[in-house]
Amino acid sequence: MSPRSLALALLLCLLPAFAAHPVRARRAMVVAQEPHATDAGVAVLKAGGNAVDAAVAVGFALAVTHPTAGNLGGGGFLLLRKASGETTFLDFRERAPANATRDMYLDSSGKLTRDSLEGWRAAGVPGTVHGLALAHRKYGSKPWAELIAPAIRLARGFPVTYSVAQSLKNTKLLAKFPESRRIFQRDGKFFEPDELLVQPELGNTLDRIARFGPREFYEGEVAKKFAAAMAANGGLISLDDLKNYRTVERKPLTGAYRGYDIVTAPPPSSGGLGILQMMGMLESSNYAAHGHAAAAAIHFVAEAMRRYYADRSEYLADPDFFKVPVTGLLDKAYISSRRATIDPSRASTSDSIRQGTPPASESAETTHFSIVDAQGNAVALTYTLNGSYGNGVTVPGLGFLLNNEMDDFAAKPGEPNMFGLVQGEANAIQPGKRPLSSMTPTILLKDGKLFMVVGAPGGSRIITGVMQVILNVVDFGMNAQDAIDAPRFHHQWQPDKLSLEKGFSPDTVALLKSRGHTVDSISTVANVEAIVVQKDGWLAGGSDRRSHGKAAGY
């Protein structure tokens, strides 16, 4: 390595130590991917609401101001840790309609069509309104309508940023559907920065949900109009599908890593199990001794990623339809056996790595926000439309975009989905089933006290992005903002390539290639939003600068 390259590599390693400061607050904090939504959540906290109240307000506000992923027409996960130590996980993931069939996205020759990606047939039954309502009913404190009021006000008009204006202009998907083209692209008279995006139909839908409660979305006039539009356009979601939708409250997965307790998402999330398994492989290694962004450290972590994603393809699915071997996949001896197959100096080939054989079990474009309230309650919530702007359809007269979550199933087991993920028979389409997800809302504890709230959007890269931010804080001592700003990498077994963000030195890339990795570049490995509780009790919020979010508190 030349002296100049060595100096550059050392500089890159040292930059996170002083490059950026997180936003700090004494009492409470919200970190979200859109500033208006952050402000709505902080206002609720200042008015005496708790973390769940703020989550409801942020969730509905994002449905207005962050149309790429914020939604009424999608679904997600909410992880809650109360100040008392009680934890719970709300699964409001979309479900396959009752009329869905295993091969519904294959043409007559057995090839995949684009119907799982675009248009009415790509949508699963939305769960967001139901999930937020259940969270509010069981754990909230403020009136329901009060929490939706900020979103209704924003629907009357909010100024679009340059990035939002560019996104709306350049998204070809929206142009394919008349209602989406009319609302978000003004039939070709594209929005300029600071112009108001007004959404009266969405505002009316939100007003009805505020006045009549969540049943309005699943059984009321909104539901009836939604189901009628589905039927008129060849979609599968019926009024019965909406009436029968249920949020499932599940027990979070828990684990430990180097003195920290981890509370994270259970299946149908593949993320929580992935973090626990991969970090289990790392815990008894000395990978961190090589230093942050060192080729040897990246290599070892990437090999752990490769092995987990191979297991994911075979063993992860909706636990209500498939017996996921959670205990076996997290068994210490099994994790040790997977770690033992890693050569510290040479990359594996994905064709040579298959799913392991865990011991028998004992008896899923996205957005994320993290919240801590003044009482110490914490919420990590990730929800999604799947692709950016979902399937492109805005429901006429109702104003909300629909998800293309059906693509998260294995529409054809063994073939990659939109994120390049190869998935197995366990995640095949079945009526009422929830597709496997990569969403990974996670909470860390230290000595029994809240330490970190973290999560991200980013499809299959969510898991690796969230894990790297945790490792940056825990293993490399970075603050919340530096941990998020540091460049990240991703390996998901298939396709067999190691993807690097910008920021790694050329010498590091050369060393990775010399170890046998096929290296390519990638713009973003997830957009992580995190809150860390400092030793002095202050809250430190980091919002990902790869996006345009905001951390704020008081």
The predicted structure's pLDDT at residue 2: 43
Q: What is the mean pLDDT of the chain?
A: 93
368 vs 442: CA distance, rounded Å: 11
Question: Is 242 in contact with 219 (CB distance < 8 Å)?
Answer: yes
Q: In a 10 Å sphere around its CB, with 0-12 CB exposed, 13-18 middle and 19+ buried, how is residue 345 labelled?
A: exposed
Tell whether the model's pLDDT for residue 9 goes beyond 50. no
Distances (CA, A) of 431 to 95, 232, 284: 8, 21, 42
Q: What is the DSSP letter of 191?
A: P
Break the chain into its structural domains and give their ranges: 3-23+252-360+439-553, 26-249+366-427
The predicted structure's pLDDT at residue 313: 87
Q: Which two tokens stand for residue 483?
A: 């941990």
Confidence of residue 314 (pLDDT cuts 50, 70, 90): confident
Distances (CA, A) of 447 to 260, 261, 283, 371, 535: 7, 8, 18, 20, 12
pLDDT digits (tens, 9 = 90+) for 498-550: 999 999 999 999 999 999 999 999 999 999 999 999 999 999 999 999 989 99
End-to-end Cα, the chain, rounded Å: 48
39 vs 139: CA distance, rounded Å: 21
Nearest to 480 by CA among 511, 520, 444: 444
Where in the sequence numbering do the catalytic residues fall? 366
Dihedral, 114, 115, 118, 124 alpha carbons, nearest 10: -140
Confidence of residue 418 (pLDDT cuts 50, 70, 90): low
Confidence of residue 19 (pLDDT cuts 50, 70, 90): low
The predicted structure's pLDDT at residue 459: 86
Number of separate helices (H) and strands (E) present in the chain: 19, 19
The predicted structure's pLDDT at residue 10: 43
CB atoms near residue 357 (< 10 Å): 12
Confidence of residue 359 (pLDDT cuts 50, 70, 90): low
* Least confident among 230-244, 310-324, 478-492: 310-324
More confident site: 14 or 257? 257
pLDDT digits (tens, 9 = 90+) for 21-44: 999 999 999 999 999 999 999 999
Instruction: For the sheet with 519-521, list strands across it.
Output: 489-490, 498-500, 519-521
Tell whether the model's pLDDT for residue 3 goes beyond 50. no
Q: In a 10 Å sphere around its CB, with 0-12 CB exposed, 13-18 middle and 19+ buried, how is residue 181 labelled?
A: middle
CATH class of 3-23+252-360+439-553: alpha beta
99 vs 121: CA distance, rounded Å: 11
Within 347-415, residue ranges assigned H as helices are none
DSSP string over 443-454? EEEETTEEEEEE
Q: Which two tokens stand for residue 102?
A: 């295993």
Mean pLDDT score, 37-59: 98
CB atoms near residue 211 (< 10 Å): 11
DSSP string over 200-226? HHHHHHHHHHHHH-THHHHTSHHHHHH
Tell whether the model's pLDDT for residue 109 goes beyond 50. yes
Confidence of residue 415 (pLDDT cuts 50, 70, 90): confident
φ, ψ for residue 326 (rounded to 5)?
A: -60, -50
| E strands in 129-279 | 158-159, 196-197, 248-250, 253-257, 260-264
DSSP string over 406-431? GGGS-SSTTSB-TT--B--GGG---T
Confidence of residue 12 (pLDDT cuts 50, 70, 90): very low
Q: Which two tokens stand for residue 499?
A: 């993807």
The predicted structure's pLDDT at residue 426: 85
CA 448 from chain centre, in angstroms, equals 26
Helix, strand, coil share of the chain (percent; to 5): 40, 20, 45
pLDDT digits (tens, 9 = 90+) for 196-240: 999 999 999 999 999 999 999 999 999 999 999 999 999 999 999
Q: Which two tokens stand for residue 239?
A: 């009024």
Q: Which two tokens stand for residue 323?
A: 């017996």
The predicted structure's pLDDT at residue 421: 65
* Least confident among 173-187, 209-223, 361-375: 361-375
Q: Which two tokens stand for residue 354?
A: 């298959």
Mean pLDDT score, 317-326: 93
Q: In a 10 Å sphere around its CB, with 0-12 CB exposed, 13-18 middle and 19+ buried, how is residue 361 labelled?
A: middle
108 vs 378: CA distance, rounded Å: 50
- Half-sphere exposure in the Cβ direction for 477 (13 Å, CA): 8
Name the pairing type of β-strands 449-455 and 489-490.
unpaired
